[in-house]
Structure 1
Amino acid sequence: MSKKESFIKGTIILAVAALVARLLGLVQRVPLEHLLGDVGDASFGVANSVYLMLLTVATAGIPSTLSKMVSERYALDKPEEAKRIYQAALIFSAFAGIVMTILLWTLAPFYATYVAQVPESALAIRALAPALLLFPTIAMMRGYFQGRNNMTAGGISQIVEQFARVGTAILLAYILLRAGYGDSEVAAGATFGGVLGSVGAFAVMLYFTRKQIRKDRELGLHDLQTAQIPLSRIYRDIFTLSIPIVLSSLAVPAVNFIDSSIIKPLISGQVGSDTATTILGILTNRAQPVAGIPPILAIALSTSLIPIISAAFARKDEVHLRNQVTLAMRIAIMTGMPMVIALCVAAYSINGLLFSSLDGSGIVAMLTFGTIFQITMMTSNSILLGIGKPRITMVTVFIGIMVKLFSSFILAQFFGIYGIIISTGLAFFVITLLNIRVLKKTVAFSILGKRWIGFLITVIISSAIGYGLHQLGLSMVDMMPARVAFLINCIIVGVAVVISYFVLLIAMRVLRQDELANYPRIIQKVLRPLMRLQRGNKQGSRG
């Protein structure tokens, strides 16, 4: 297998692993929401928000930096230096894991009681804390194997981790519930699935480590002396490259952490403590998983262009760079929007289909609507990283988080939970605007140009079609079992929105036939038959 084929295969493995992991993470919430009560929902949501925030700080950025440093050393025929760098990374990960675990375990009661104001969540947070012992090391091992051009190890470990985490979480929650334990204990059992997930992932990485050692012995690399590079120098190089990436990766975990921390303090006075706990559970265990669906496909398609963008930037090919940046942003918006529309207009039926009650359908719809700005934020962040501007994304994400924090306190006074949700969309929107402003100083591009009007008309009409069909479909609830009616309604609305959306995009010339060849093949195959709707397709190709 050639290096190019190996790279493509590895990229596909990582993409599939990330997709499976994301979908399993979303699927997990549905059965747990049925097993947990209001306090359990809130406790599980709070524990996960804290955990993911700390995990991002402990691991994000450093594995990719380690991968880059290791691959460079092997390319320069300096395996002894790569070995030293890997050792240094493992030392740091062990230290970070111990410190993070102790901090999370020790501070859990204080955070749960005085910050999040869900004291019952302390047990769930502590149950998840031991997972941090292993995850920093697992992340370093994945980064090292990627640097050795072995994407399979990280991909398989990620899939095993998610299956172990999700399966254990649901099983333990069910067993504890049947045994008569309370809501907080059941939530703790569910969060403990993360610990078993880390053990599964670590076991996979150890298996691939043993295989790599045998392979290195055959190549005469295993017994090489480790280069005596000072640890201080290695850590300086690692952190210089990784800290901007870490802070750039914090946008979504930080927003979710802020929500878990402030919802009860801000809205308890308006709706009461018990209702605020219920709302916190709805946001974290219903709205956030549903809102996490639209970015999956949109980000996967748009970020597939990032290597091309990086190459064009390195070659100083401004024309190609402009075209690819434009394409990445267009794909992100145009493939993310139909899913956002469908989930928003059908939020009531989705709630009834997946969860234990119809409560909070408005919360699900509003949070999902703001996801379009999360998609544009993540795509523009990736583009900036691709053109070597990680410090810019660090600054824009920090500004966005500050916007989220301050606007939440202001808007919650007037709109309650909806004000907090509006502040989330506002934060992502501000980050997107700042990113685009910086990008335009580097490359003169236009996302849709004069096509925005056609795009907005498409969104409005397809939303109206979906909403109208959804309201008509609700009458089926009186004719058959409610969940069956909700399922049929979701399917009808989803199909109608997607078809009407893309037909209108083509009819309004937002998507043009002469540009179709630039899009990923999967989009070409879907859209090519619809292009017959377009007349005079060679005219007005700009804009």
Structure 2
Amino acid sequence: MKTGENATGHQTESASKNAQAKMVTGSAWMTAGSVTSRLIGALYVIPWVTWLGTYSTQANALFAKGYNIYSIFLQVATAGIPSAISKMVAHYNGLDEYGVSRHLYHSGMYVSMAMGIICSIIMFGAAGILAAGDPNVIPVIRSLAWAVLVIPPMSITRGFLQGYNWMAPSAMSQFVEQVFRVIYMLAATFFVMKIQKGSWVVAVTQSTFAAFIGAIGAIIVLTSAYLHHRREMNELVQGGKRDISVSTFSLIFKIIYQAIPFIVIESGIIIFQLIDQYTFPPIMRMLGHYTNYQINAVYALFSFNANKLYMIIISFATGMAATAIPLLSEARAQNDTEGIRKQIENALTLFYFVMIPASMGLAAVAQQIYTVFYRYDAAGVTVLEFAAFMAIPLGMYSVAAAMMQGISENKRMMTYLGVGVIIKFILQIPCMMIVKGLGPLLATGLAMMVVNYLILHSFNMEFNLHFNEMAKSTNQILGFSIIMFVIVKVVMLLIGMIVSPYGRYTAFFSLIPGVIVGMLVFIYLALRYRLADNLLGPRMESLRVKLHIK
């Protein structure tokens, strides 16, 4: 009897380690793709801002307004289907029903193409209303409608491949999408501003149209990946259960039923940004006699300038979130409660390991990195320092909400998000009265903290998370991050005494040693005190030996 129990225990442990390995590998691919694309999407700002010159602040505000509206339409157009497809494909694959998974993909493609056409037409037709009185926003919205037309089928294919746990094609497509987009937008901006000496509004409109060009690049990569894996998928279909008949209509209904919560939940951060977009100007006018130029300038600081930089580190979280959904869905399909608990704990600890040091590192080098991207601005640096810490609850939301979807708690998650939106509205005016331009970020951060608490409490009630076991790793991460933050701050202050931190080039050369020191300090501490071993597996031991760390 004991032998059988031991065998079962070994199988459970092996399955748990295999799931953790999948989580780490998948997270590595998705995080690499997400972070790299975010980095490229941030680095273009340096030449872009330079070529726009004195119009750069207004251009940043216009870009942010157009993209916030586009992001919501994109969520509706894709209808949350990529994440729903990823989850449902993993579910059916876990049941050995590979034929249903493929049928699901084809049905999802019909829905996504129809939604893309409808949303694109609405964006064109309703651009005047959505612009809320700003005529410059109208051409920007219309230029983004082209991307909404083609991105849904592209996203469906990403979700389908992720359902098989093939994360590399998604990561590569994100990278290529950004490369195509940035090349086009920089070429167009240079042509309009430097060669034609044209309008900054035209430059921004062409820059946003670049989203369509980027999508074409991603479609090429994903189509190649699909064709590459087609033989393997055919073999899985042949070897799987074949006596299952599911109608196209039934699958479309299931997709839409699963997707509607995804629209709302995945739009969480965008919904908060739209609240800022439409409430920030009237509240600022209520609080003081500010001109439109001043309001747009402050809005650009937190909605575009800081957002571009802190979203890079949030992309770490979204990479892990994309990996968590199919793994949790597979465990749920197999009714593996212990597996679900392990996956949640792994995802949370990995999130802390990546997000906390990344956020604190960004805060430590905020002045240098802001200066490199946008030129020195004391207000901008303050906003970025504050936003770096607010990125932690935002990133936490991305991971926690994805896990709620992975275990099919969509209705409860929508309720929690609704609570967060109400808190955001309640706190918006008081926070802006207290800290003015930082108010929207503070209100968002506090509201997200409440949402995160509700999610974690829900997980604990259902799966009895082992917070005591997680506490050691979490405390180590926090402690090492604080040590790293203090050391980097001291290094930046010392460099600032020798080299001016206010010039773009000097700030760049100051930034490099600061980033290197920060990474080395955290990596050394994580290896020295075995934190990396616990989270990333036994490979870290060989790395520690190579680096001669005891």
Bigger CA drift: 139-148 or 23-32? 139-148
1:433 corresponds to 2:433 = no
Q: Is contact 1:65-1:238 (8 Å) kept? A: yes
Q: Choose from 329, 346, 366 the match for 2:386.
A: 366
Q: Choose from 324, 330, 353 the match for 2:349.
A: 330
1:471 corresponds to 2:493 = yes
Alignment-derived partner of residue 249 in structure 1: 266
CA–CA separation in structure 2 for the residues paired with 1:274 and 1:185: 19
What is the identity, as a one-letter code, of the residue corresponding to 1:519?
L
Alignment-derived partner of residue 14 in structure 2: none
Identity fraction in percent: 21
1:367–1:174 distance in 2 versus 1, CA, 3 Å: same
Q: Is contact 1:247-1:394 (8 Å) kept? A: yes
Cα displacement (A) at 1:419: 0.9
Alignment-derived partner of residue 159 in structure 1: 175
1:427–1:514 distance in 2 versus 1, CA, 3 Å: closer
Q: Choose from 398, 412, 433 the match for 2:432.
A: 412
Bigger CA drift: 350-359 or 148-157? 148-157
Cα displacement (A) at 1:515: 8.6
Alignment-derived partner of residue 65 in structure 1: 84
1:150–1:502 distance in 2 versus 1, CA, 3 Å: closer
Q: Choose from 455, 479, 504 the match for 1:483.
A: 504
Q: Is contact 2:35-2:315 (8 Å) kept? A: yes
1:230–1:283 distance in 2 versus 1, CA, 3 Å: same
What is the identity, as a one-letter code, of the residue corresponding to 1:104?
M
Does the residue aligned with 2:375 lie in a helix, a strand or coil?
coil
Q: Is contact 2:302-2:441 (8 Å) kept? A: no
1:64–1:399 distance in 2 versus 1, CA, 3 Å: same
Q: Is contact 1:264-1:276 (8 Å) kept? A: yes
Deviation by residue 1:456-489 (Cα, 9 ceiling, x = unmatched): 66555544443333333223344x9933431233
Deviation by residue 1:286-311 (Cα, 9 ceiling, x = unmatched): 20111123234466568767777667
Cα displacement (A) at 1:519: 3.3
CA–CA separation in structure 1 for the residues paired with 2:94 and 2:482: 54
Q: Is contact 1:29-1:285 (8 Å) kept? A: no
Bigger CA drift: 157-166 or 184-193? 157-166
1:50 corresponds to 2:69 = yes
1:85–1:378 distance in 2 versus 1, CA, 3 Å: closer
Alignment-derived partner of residue 541 in structure 1: none
CA–CA separation in structure 2 for the residues paired with 1:375 and 1:458: 19
1:522–1:173 distance in 2 versus 1, CA, 3 Å: farther
What is the identity, as a one-letter code, of the residue corresponding to 1:50?
I
What is the identity, as a one-letter code, of the residue corresponding to 1:492?
P
1:383 corresponds to 2:400 = no
CA–CA separation in structure 1 for the residues paired with 2:472 and 2:236: 59
Deviation by residue 1:13-37 (Cα, 9 ceiling, x = unmatched): 6554434333322333333233332
1:367–1:219 distance in 2 versus 1, CA, 3 Å: closer
Deviation by residue 1:333-386 (Cα, 9 ceiling, x = unmatched): 233222212211321111112223425111111111111112322232333334
Does the residue aligned with 2:467 lie in a helix, a strand or coil?
coil
Alignment-derived partner of residue 39 in structure 2: 23
Deviation by residue 1:119-142 (Cα, 9 ceiling, x = unmatched): 322221221111111111222233
Bigger relative contact order (CA 8 A; separation at least 6): 2
Matches within 5 A, 1:522-533: none
1:33–1:528 distance in 2 versus 1, CA, 3 Å: farther
Alignment-derived partner of residue 224 in structure 1: none
What is the identity, as a one-letter code, of the residue corresponding to 1:257?
L
Q: Is contact 2:143-2:205 (8 Å) kept? A: yes
Alignment-derived partner of residue 354 in structure 1: 373
Alignment-derived partner of residue 49 in structure 2: 33
Bigger CA drift: 302-311 or 493-502? 302-311
CA–CA separation in structure 2 for the residues paired with 1:155 and 1:381: 21
CA–CA separation in structure 2 for the residues paired with 1:310 and 1:68: 6
CA–CA separation in structure 1 for the residues paired with 2:327 and 2:544: 23
What is the identity, as a one-letter code, of the residue corresponding to 2:440?
I
1:273–1:524 distance in 2 versus 1, CA, 3 Å: farther
1:101–1:499 distance in 2 versus 1, CA, 3 Å: same
Q: Is contact 2:45-2:373 (8 Å) kept? A: no
1:89 corresponds to 2:89 = no
CA–CA separation in structure 2 for the residues paired with 1:336 and 1:165: 27
Does the residue aligned with 2:377 lie in a helix, a strand or coil?
coil
Cα displacement (A) at 1:229: 6.5
Alignment-derived partner of residue 122 in structure 1: 138
1:95–1:301 distance in 2 versus 1, CA, 3 Å: closer
Q: Is contact 2:34-2:318 (8 Å) kept? A: no
CA–CA separation in structure 2 for the residues paired with 1:495 and 1:176: 38
CA–CA separation in structure 2 for the residues paired with 1:358 and 1:291: 17
Q: Is contact 2:140-2:205 (8 Å) kept? A: yes
Cα displacement (A) at 1:74: 12
Deviation by residue 1:259-285 (Cα, 9 ceiling, x = unmatched): 333332322453432111112222233
1:185 corresponds to 2:205 = no
Alignment-derived partner of residue 184 in structure 2: 168
**Tell me, which stretches of 5 or more residues in structure 2 are unaligned?**
1-17, 239-243
1:266–1:30 distance in 2 versus 1, CA, 3 Å: farther
Q: Is contact 2:87-2:329 (8 Å) kept? A: no
**Tell me, which stretches of 5 or more residues in structure 1 are unaligned?**
222-226, 534-543
CA–CA separation in structure 2 for the residues paired with 1:203 and 1:305: 26
Alignment-derived partner of residue 494 in structure 1: 515
TM-score of the aligned structures, taking structure 2 as reference length: 0.79
Bigger CA drift: 378-387 or 158-167? 378-387
- Tell me the C-alpha RMSD between the 2 structures: 4.2
1:69–1:356 distance in 2 versus 1, CA, 3 Å: same
CA–CA separation in structure 2 for the residues paired with 1:234 and 1:308: 21
Matches within 5 A, 1:514-525: 516-520=533-537
TM-score of the aligned structures, taking structure 1 as reference length: 0.80
CA–CA separation in structure 1 for the residues paired with 2:535 and 2:458: 24
Deviation by residue 1:219-241 (Cα, 9 ceiling, x = unmatched): 999xxxxx996655333211222
What is the identity, as a one-letter code, of the residue corresponding to 1:398?
G
CA–CA separation in structure 2 for the residues paired with 1:408 and 1:39: 23
Cα displacement (A) at 1:156: 4.5
Q: How many residues align?
A: 514
1:450–1:339 distance in 2 versus 1, CA, 3 Å: closer
CA–CA separation in structure 1 for the residues paired with 2:490 and 2:165: 51
Bigger CA drift: 154-163 or 177-186? 154-163
